[in-house]
Amino acid sequence: MTGIAKLFKIILKPIPRSFLRCLGLPFGFIWYDLIRFRRKVVIDNLTKAFPEWSEEKINSVGRKSVYSLMENFFEFFLILAIDDDWIKKNIVFEGLENLDQAKSEGKGAFLLSLHLGQGDLMANCLARQGYKVSIITKFFNSKLLNAVWFGVRGAQGVRHIPPHGEKTPFLILKQLKENTMVGFVLDQHMGKPYGVRTQFFGRSAGTAYGLALFHIKTKRPIVPVYNYLADDGKIHIVAEAPFLYRNEFENQDREQTLVELTQAFTDKIEQIVRRYPEQWMWIHRRWKWKGS
């Protein structure tokens, strides 16, 4: 951790999470209610996903989603201040036995996640619990921005891998050998050649098939992990029962298996979004696949 990061840790540690989240409220108001940036996208997405909802409910959930994004932005910097005491005060873990089982095999595993709540904070809390975590993610073109942004994102030991780099497959396999949990975030649009057609809330959506490809290649389990802000004010980090490699994949068409697995992952993400729609990132244009 750099000297600047250590200084921020000292400054941030005594500040209540609730105060930092409150800083995001006026920015959420400016974004959604004043400037209305991508407000139409949010409303259109929610209408597609929940056609049975009233206009009032759609607008309410859309507003909460954008406000939550801004609250999460300020809370994001608390990654620098995470320690064991902070975790005991602010985090509730659910289902860590699913990660422990994968870790005990010593061959790594995959994490399936989405843009819900505080993803980076979740990853760093898991790292503090003794799990090696790497996330597949895009990088900026600017070295300075990367240094600052990923300096925070990786402050507790989380590593990051570019999604389509020449060395990406090698890095993923190498980290599995190091018993690392390699995370894929699969809730954003991905067209060809890296995506396949899936159904998300009953509509066609392009989804990256990379996780399915590596699952077939390595046969390592895939643990769905996500977090949500609960009524108790704490962040609940959930690890669900894993997807396990099925032997019948051996005799099945490879392309069919890629689509089948990617659809299963998409179904799991939809299931989670339906539970906590006000905490998902509805500003993203998810349904770009032709015919959606």
Predicted local confidence at residue 251, as pLDDT = 78
Predicted local confidence at residue 124, as pLDDT = 98
In percent, how much of the chain has pLDDT > 90? 85
What is the arithmetic mean of pLDDT over 247-262?
A: 88
Helix spans in 154-279 (H): 168-177, 210-218, 254-275
The two counts, helices (H) then strands (E), for the chain are 11, 9
* pLDDT band of 170, cuts 50, 70, 90: very high
Pairwise CA distance, residues 11 & 53, whole Å: 43
Residue 291 has pLDDT above 80, yes or no: no
Predicted local confidence at residue 98, as pLDDT = 97
- Give helix 143-153 / helix 119-128 axis angle, nearest 10°: 60
For residue 243, give Cα distances in angstroms to 70, 195, 249: 33, 20, 13
What is the arithmetic mean of pLDDT over 272-280?
A: 98
What is the arithmetic mean of pLDDT over 142-158?
A: 92
Side-chain-side CA neighbours of 129 within 13 Å: the count stands at: 21
What is the arithmetic mean of pLDDT over 10-28?
A: 86
Six-digit token string for 281:
């990132």
Residue 126 has pLDDT above 60, yes or no: yes
- The widest CA-to-CA distance across the chain, in whole angstroms, is 57
Residue 16 has pLDDT above 90, yes or no: no
pLDDT in tens, 195-230: 999 999 999 999 999 999 999 999 999 999 999 999
Predicted local confidence at residue 4, as pLDDT = 59
Residue 254 has pLDDT above 80, yes or no: yes
What is the arithmetic mean of pLDDT over 185-197?
A: 95
Residue ranges of domains in the chain, CATH in brackets: 3-279 (3.40.1130)
Q: How many CB atoms lie within 10 A of CB 1?
A: 13
Predicted local confidence at residue 11, as pLDDT = 73
Mean residue pLDDT across the chain: 93
Predicted local confidence at residue 8, as pLDDT = 67
Predicted local confidence at residue 3, as pLDDT = 60
